[in-house]
A and B are shown apart, each in its own frame.
Chain A
């Protein structure tokens, strides 16, 4: 910048003392305009094109650059706005479906709460974690929150000497976990998030889990629980193995239960809990995507405003420069 100022002084002693051979009063606003004009004038008098190479000087963006940038940001703003609309519609539907799903899910967990079933701490050697996310991004911190919780959980459990396996529901979680904790991954589920989850999806996940042959003593499902349009919280629900439930002391008060009935009941309860987690997670994801796209659109409008101002200033500077050229050329005749 200081290098340019020298050249400036050579031609125009100061902007206020306007050179007398101009008829118009030039309103040269910013030093950037002056340097630009100075460079152009200097360039015309010498064959070389002088471009300043000092580290802090930026090349003045041409009108073309600004136009291209403005057009691309406007396109992006249209896209994020429409994504917000789509997310809002999906969120409304997901929230409607969440209401009965919540009653259903809490009903399924009622037994474990009322009978106060807890897995015995010392004995539980094999743990299972089911992480529920989805395949699609652009939804804020949804996936990274679940991954963070799972990573800290794995660290705690392996530190205590227990074996942990993880089931990923959703491709994003796989991407976040496979690099560092790839040896803990048991199952991956894809194609989650495109359509709203239903009971069939939950039963497929539960069936694969039970067929995998991993005999876990205790487990938990980690998902994002929906609290409101702007807030969700990463929550966990317990999953108990059949042996834990059968051997829990409070189960004695439940009468007339044989092993077959208990196994069927447990499997059904597992599906129900997974179903609840899927529903809550999808509602949180859509609301998070809605807020993320909303703030992206707002940021884009801010950038558009700033760029439009720069564009207008540049445009005026170009016009001014052309006028100067014309007039100085005419005056030289």
Chain B
């Protein structure tokens, strides 16, 4: 359903690639803020598209996206700049807010550029977490281990 919504947004862009008038009167620029508590990656920047992984599925945000609030899950955020280049970041969790004036605030609890992650360490952590799952005693410990498994699986998937 999210993918369909994404396609619905992408198709009009393809159809209107030759008409200049749409760009002038149409969607406002997206003011994109992407930050973690210790680092700011984008501050009110103008970007073309952002792909975010949320609890309800991954979707892409273009300017004039319908306003919504979502909670992130561990996964990869891809930012497509106006000049076509893209940057990938791994986020652990957080929230994304899309407002009516096309401003997007992506707040991640922890976010690192993908090239700073080590796939071998991630695989080792994943195996350790999976073995801990068997020994987890109570609900809270089990939930923690499952979060760790989910995050490490996402890292490994992102790096492969």
Residues of A within 8 A of B (CB): 97, 99-101, 103-104, 107-108, 110-111, 114-115, 198-199, 253-257, 261-262, 264-265, 268-269, 272, 275
Contact = CB atoms under 8 A, between A and B. Distances in A.
B35 A103 contact: yes
Query: Helix, strand, loop or mixed for chain B's interface?
Result: strand
Interface stretch (B36-44, B75-83, B151-159): B36-44
A264 B71 contact: yes
Contact of B56 (A114, A254, A261): A261
A268 B40 contact: no
B97 A111 contact: yes
B69 A110 contact: no
17 contacts: A99-B40, A100-B39, A103-B33, A103-B43, A104-B40, A107-B97, A107-B105, A114-B99, A114-B100, A253-B100, A254-B68, A261-B69, A264-B71, A265-B69, A265-B71, A268-B94, A268-B95
Interface in B87-122: 94-95, 97, 99-101, 103, 105, 107, 109
Given A199-B109, A261-B55, 6 more contacts: A99-B40, A107-B97, A114-B100, A253-B100, A261-B71, A268-B94
A104 B33 CA distance: 9
A215 B109 CA distance: 26
A299 to B, nearest CB: 38
Those 4 A-B pairs whose CB atoms lie nearest each other, nearest first:
A107-B105, A199-B37, A104-B35, A264-B71
A97 B39 CA distance: 9
Contact of A107 (B55, B67, B107, B109): B107
Nearest to B108: A104
Contacts of B35: 100, 103-104, 107
Interface string B33-64: 10111111001000000000001100000000
Query: Helix, strand, loop or mixed for chain A's interface?
Result: helix
Interface residues of B, number: 26
A332 B34 CA distance: 95
Contacts of A256: 56, 68
Given A104-B107, A254-B67, A255-B66, A110 B37 contact: no
Contacts of B40: 99-100, 103-104
Contacts of A114: 99-101, 103
B125 interface: no
Contacts of A99: 40
A108 B109 CA distance: 12
A50 to B, nearest CB: 73
Which of B55, B69, B71, B103 neighbours the largest number of chain A CB atoms within 10 Å of its CB?
A: B69
A318 to B, nearest CB: 63
Contacts of B95: 108, 264-265, 268-269
A256 B66 CA distance: 10
Nearest to A262: B69
A254 B37 contact: no
B123 to A, nearest CB: 26
A262 B107 CA distance: 15
B103 A111 contact: no
Nearest to B66: A255
B146 interface: no
Contacts of B109: 199, 268
B120 to A, nearest CB: 27
B37 A255 contact: no
Nearest to B35: A104
B29 interface: no
Nearest to A114: B99
A68 to B, nearest CB: 50
Given A104-B107, A254-B69, A255-B67, A115 B37 contact: no
A97 B37 CA distance: 9
Contact of B99 (A115, A257, A265, A275): A115
